[in-house]
């Protein structure tokens, strides 16, 4: 049961968005998040909506799939919206006992809900259309300039991709140790919280020991295959910008400019 876990939620499909360079997608996501928190006015909201749904449509990922991601943060969204609704001072339109709903409250609650929804949808497009490995590659390449100031960019990226590779193996191992300890009479289910946490010790200790042993083995296997850090290394799948990547950069920049223009010239009514 545990081994069915898939990390990230990559949705394989054949679309332009899937084929884009991961760096473009990282950049676009960043710009999109910035735009969500600086837009003002209905016009800007319309621009953001059209952009978002346009991208969703081109990504060929079913909308149903995206909404799944929203369910997880539903509670957070409701709480945020309620706080905004009741606690924003301003012109009251409805009051009951100590609760008071203001006109400003309604608009800021609605705005917050929209922002959070768009944020989740927007970022999930990235994780749905990019494999974890592409993402790591993209991060490595995008952060390459940081290597000049002594940040071990290559090592960080290598660690991330190895961690991704070993998650399913360690999950399987946890499953095995759990069963082995249960066969020896360990009890992971009953008791209060403190007791449950304590019962994790016989699970965690062997898991850590085995993880360190694996790390040692893996390091040796990597050395045996001539690994000696990032210098002098070539890439089997190098990242290269294509025409569509440049197009995407232009499109995303255009989008940000449009949002900023709307903010300056059409800030009505927010």
Partner 1 sequence: MGIIKAKQLVHEYIRRDEDGNVESTSTALDHVDLDVQPGEFIAILGHNGSGKSTLAKHINALLAPTEGSLWVDGMDVSEEENVLPVRQTAGMVFQNPDNQIIASVVEEDVGFGPENIGIPTDEIWQRVEESLKAVGMLKYRHHSPNKLSGGQKQRVAIAGVMAMQPKCIVLDEPTAMLDPNGRKEVLRAARELNEKKGVTIILITHYMEEVVDADKVIVMDQGKVVMQGTPREIFSQVGKLKEYRLDVPQVTILADLLRQSGLNIPIGVLHREELVEAILKAAQIE
Residues contributing to the site for partner 1 (CB under 8 A) = 132-133, 161-162, 164-165, 168-169, 214, 217-218, 220-228, 232-238
Q: What percent of the residues of the chain are helix, what percent strand, and what percent coil, each to the nearest 5? A: 70, 5, 25
* Minimum gap (Å) between residue 134 Cβ and partner 1: 11
> Residue 129 or 134: which CB sits closer to partner 1?
134
* Minimum gap (Å) between residue 19 Cβ and partner 1: 16
* Minimum gap (Å) between residue 247 Cβ and partner 1: 24
How far apart, in whole angstroms, are the C-alpha atoms of residue 258 and residue 140? Answer: 30
Query: Computed from CA positions of residues 259, 74, 164, 152, in that sequence, does the dihedral angle turn out positive or negative?
Result: positive
User: At 227, is the secondary structure helix, strand, or coil?
Assistant: coil
DSSP letter string over 3-14? GG--STT-----
> Residue 205 or 222: which CB sits closer to partner 1?
222
Number of H helices, E strands in the chain: 11, 2
**Residues listed for the chain:** 270
* Minimum gap (Å) between residue 233 Cβ and partner 1: 6
How far apart, in whole angstroms, are the C-alpha atoms of residue 26 and residue 115? Answer: 19
Identify the DSSP state of 95.
Answer: E
* Minimum gap (Å) between residue 161 Cβ and partner 1: 7
* Minimum gap (Å) between residue 5 Cβ and partner 1: 11
φ, ψ of residue 145 in degrees (nearest 5): -60, -25
> Residue 164 or 260: which CB sits closer to partner 1?
164
* Minimum gap (Å) between residue 228 Cβ and partner 1: 7
Tokens (6 digits) for 168: 């399913």
> Residue 38 or 159: which CB sits closer to partner 1?
159
How far apart, in whole angstroms, are the C-alpha atoms of residue 236 and residue 233? Answer: 10
How far apart, in whole angstroms, are the C-alpha atoms of residue 133 and residue 30? Answer: 19
> Residue 1 or 75: which CB sits closer to partner 1?
1
């Amino acid at each position: 049961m545990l081994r069915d876990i898939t990390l990230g939620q990559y949705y394989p499909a054949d679309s332009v968005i899937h084929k884009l360079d991961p760096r473009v997608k990282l950049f676009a996501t960043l710009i999109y998040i910035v735009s969500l928190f600086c837009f003002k006015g209905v016009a800007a909201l319309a621009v953001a909506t059209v952009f978002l749904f346009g991208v969703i449509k081109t990504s060929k990922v079913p909308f149903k799939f995206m909404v799944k991601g929203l369910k997880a943060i539903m509670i957070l969204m409701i709480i945020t919206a309620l706080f905004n609704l009741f606690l924003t001072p301003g012109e009251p339109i409805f009051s009951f006992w100590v609760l008071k709903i203001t006109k400003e409250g309604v608009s800021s609650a609605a705005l917050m809900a929209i922002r959070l929804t768009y944020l989740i949808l927007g970022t999930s497009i990235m994780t749905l259309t990019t494999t974890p490995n592409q993402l790591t590659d993209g991060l490595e390449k995008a952060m390459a300039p940081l290597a000049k100031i002594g940040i071990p960019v290559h090592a960080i990226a290598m660690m991330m991709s190895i961690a991704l590779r070993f998650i399913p193996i360690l999950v399987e191992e946890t499953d095995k140790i759990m069963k082995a300890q249960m066969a020896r009479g360990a009890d992971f289910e009953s008791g209060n919280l403190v007791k449950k946490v304590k019962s994790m010790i016989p699970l965690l200790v062997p898991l850590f020991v085995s993880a360190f042993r694996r790390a040692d083995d893996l390091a040796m296997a990597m050395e045996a295959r001539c690994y000696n850090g990032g210098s002098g290394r070539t890439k089997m799948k190098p990242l290269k910008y294509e025409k569509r990547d440049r197009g995407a950069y232009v499109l995303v920049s255009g989008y940000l400019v449009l949002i900023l223009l709307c903010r300056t010239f059409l800030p009505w009514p927010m």
